[in-house]
Amino acid sequence: MSTAPVYEIDVAAFHADPYPDLKRMRADAPVAFVPQLGATLFTRREAIAREEKRTDVFSSDQPQGLMTLLMGQNMMRKDGEAHAAERRATFPAFSPRTVRDVWTAQFRSAAHAILDRIAPSGGCDLVRDYAMPVSAEALKAITGLTNMDWREMDRVSQGMIDGIANYTGDPAVEARCRDCTASIDAHIDARVDALRAAPDLSLVSVQLEAGLPMDSLRANVKLAISGGQNEPRDAIAGAAWALLTHPDQLALIRAGGADWRAAFEEYARWISPIGMSPRRVARADTAEGVTFAPEDRVFFMFGSGNRDEAAWMDPDVFDMTRDTRGSLAFGAGPHFCAGAAASRAMIADVALPLLFERLPGLRLAGDVHIAGWAFRGPTRMPAAWD
């Protein structure tokens, strides 16, 4: 175990709102061992950005990590050339050019169809009825799993997210996760022959063309689903909630003083849909005055780094005029999110502007519930419009 000071948390309270504890840790114990999580947490932005790059010490290769055990060893759980090779193989599916020339039009078409369906109702739950299907339809296109219903895409993503955050070892959560990964494997198998016959720029197809082993291909598709459904879904609904609860910020967009990308980037800093990234200590070393032993578990707390008082003025405030270039929302090191360009296009260029354009008088119509610390976002968001 590391020599970091111990910081105790109430797990339920931390899940409901981690920010008070994270603020205290940044001030009093910026590198702290949390026994309830079985990990040492880095909570300051500068240290996270620096140490995440030292993959020889803080390794992404975690053979006994929940993600590897439940989803297979994807490229996010590899370092060095092994990681780089798979990143190169998958790049055609995620490149900014592919996003611009191929995926954005499909994102827009799907979002319009979803809005056509919900607009006449005058009200809905924006998480369930808008953000969820928009994110899932986009992910179906990018992965190549066009044979999967959008509801199943959301189910399997949530099941994996719950599974890889199951640090308390709930067997029911693990069982649901394994059921979800089996569903993904079956949908991949059903698409392979067609994509071999007619290759495209989808993730399954580009990996087949690159000759990646099927276990790597499957693991990388599961990675894309686990990170490409829940986080964009949460960011679409969450950013809409932020704008509706900060009318001055929404007015700034409408007056041309800010754009939708500023809204998304600031929301992703402020709330951080991906709040944490785990690492395994590969060799004994010292960081921030704390000594680490091999096989120690470390959590880089992106959500905390994004609220670091040393990095931003008034970090607990949603302010689209701030410079967010230091945000850790997509990571900071060699594992910087491969899907960042797709996320920005789907959320900031399509989902948010169309939502406010197509639903005049959009407003909240009930309590919004936000939860999570490893992954954080709204679980419900009742809304109405004129």
pLDDT tens readout for residues 242-263: 999 999 999 999 999 999 999 9
Q: What is the pLDDT of residue 331?
A: 85
259-294 pLDDT tens trace = 999 999 999 999 999 999 999 999 999 999 999 999
DSSP 128: I
DSSP line for 140-196: HHHHS-TTS-HHHHHHHHHHHHHHHT-TT--HHHHHHHHHHHHHHHHHHHHHHHHHH
Which is nearest to 235 in space by CA: 93, 105, 337?
A: 337
- Name which residue leads in pLDDT, 24 or 84: 24
Question: Can you tell me the mean pLDDT for 136-157?
Answer: 95
Q: What is the pLDDT of residue 230?
A: 86
For residue 241, tell me if it sits in a domain. Answer: yes
Q: What is the pLDDT of residue 27?
A: 98
Q: Are 351 and 361 in contact (CB under 8 A)?
A: no
Residue 14 pLDDT class (50, 70, 90 cuts): very high
Q: What is the pLDDT of residue 193?
A: 97
**What would the two tokens of residue 171 be?**
């067997």
Half-sphere exposure (CA, 13 Å, Cβ side) for 342? 33
For the chain, the maximum distance between any two Cα atoms, rounded to a whole number of angstroms, is 61
Question: Can you tell me the mean pLDDT for 359-374?
Answer: 96
Which is nearest to 303 in space by CA: 245, 372, 237?
A: 372
Q: Is the pLDDT of residue 155 over 90?
A: yes
Q: Is the pLDDT of residue 159 over 90?
A: yes
Other CB atoms within 10 A of residue 39 CB: 21
- Percent of all residues in the chain with a pLDDT value above 70, rounded to a whole number: 100
CATH of the domain at 325: 1.10.630.10
Residue 77 pLDDT class (50, 70, 90 cuts): confident
Long-range contacts of 253-259 (CB under 8 A, 24+ apart): 253/320, 257/321, 258/320, 258/321, 259/348
177-224 pLDDT tens trace = 999 999 999 999 999 999 999 999 999 999 999 999 999 999 999 999
For residue 6, tell me if it sits in a domain. Answer: no
Question: Which residues have a Cβ under 8 Å from the Cβ of 54 and sit 6 or more positions away?
Answer: 285, 287
Q: What is the pLDDT of residue 367?
A: 95
Q: How confident is the prediction for the chain on average, in pLDDT?
A: 95
Rounded Cα distance between 362 and 239, Å, is: 13
Q: What is the pLDDT of residue 337?
A: 85
Q: Which domain holds residue 330?
A: 11-384
Give the gyration radius of the chain's Cα atoms.
Answer: 20
Q: What is the pLDDT of residue 222?
A: 95
Question: Which residues have a Cβ under 8 Å from the Cβ of 245 and sit 6 or more positions away?
Answer: 364
For residue 224, tell me if it sits in a domain. Answer: yes
For residue 36, tell me if it sits in a domain. Answer: yes
Residue 51 pLDDT class (50, 70, 90 cuts): very high
Which is nearest to 365 in space by CA: 339, 386, 334, 337?
A: 386
Question: Can you tell me the mean pLDDT for 350-375?
Answer: 96
Rounded Cα distance between 1 and 294, Å, is: 9
Residue 332 pLDDT class (50, 70, 90 cuts): confident
Residue 336 pLDDT class (50, 70, 90 cuts): confident
- Percent of all residues in the chain with a pLDDT value above 90, rounded to a whole number: 87
Q: Are 78 and 296 in contact (CB under 8 A)?
A: no
For residue 1, tell me if it sits in a domain. Answer: no
Q: Is the pLDDT of residue 334 over 90?
A: no
- Total domains in the chain come to 1
For residue 5, tell me if it sits in a domain. Answer: no
For 95, phi and psi rounded to 5 degrees?
-60, 150
For residue 376, tell me if it sits in a domain. Answer: yes
As to burial, measured by CB atoms within 10 angstroms (0-12 exposed, 13-18 middle, 19+ buried), residue 61 is middle
Question: Can you tell me the mean pLDDT for 145-151?
Answer: 96
For residue 157, tell me if it sits in a domain. Answer: yes
Question: Can you tell me the mean pLDDT for 156-184?
Answer: 92
